[in-house]
């Protein structure tokens, strides 16, 4: 793995952790405010999280260009 691949993997993991943070924040706010908009944030966070893992797997398994 060269320097470019390492940077891409780090970016992918950053997306994973950003998704986790959005999901936790949305869930926390929904629990305490009971507003549906925060559920949307939690779902978006889960989608970002999944996309980050997709990027990570693509880079580490050799599927990237």
Q: What is the pLDDT of residues 7-58, one digit of tens each?
A: 889 999 999 999 999 999 999 999 999 999 999 999 999 999 999 999 999 8
Residue 14 contacts by C-beta under 8 Å, 6 or more apart in sequence?
52
Local structure of 62: helix, strand or coil: coil
Helix axes 36-60 and 3-33, enclosed angle (nearest 10) = 160
In whole angstroms, what is the distance from residue 65 CA to residue 34 CA? 44
Name the more confident of 9 and 65.
9
Residues 49, 45: Cα–Cα separation, whole Å: 6
Instruction: Provide the whole-model pTM.
Output: 0.83
pLDDT at 38 (0 to 100): 95
Taking the C-alpha atoms of residue 22 and residue 33, their distance in angstroms, rounded to an integer, is 16
pLDDT band per the 50, 70, 90 thresholds, residue 61: confident
């Amino acid at each position: 793995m060269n320097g470019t691949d390492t940077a891409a993997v780090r970016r992918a993991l950053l997306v994973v952790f950003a998704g986790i943070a959005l999901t936790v924040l949305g869930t926390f706010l929904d629990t305490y405010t009971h507003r549906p908009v925060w559920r949307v944030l939690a779902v978006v966070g889960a989608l970002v999280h999944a996309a980050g893992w997709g990027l990570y797997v693509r880079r580490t398994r050799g599927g990237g260009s």
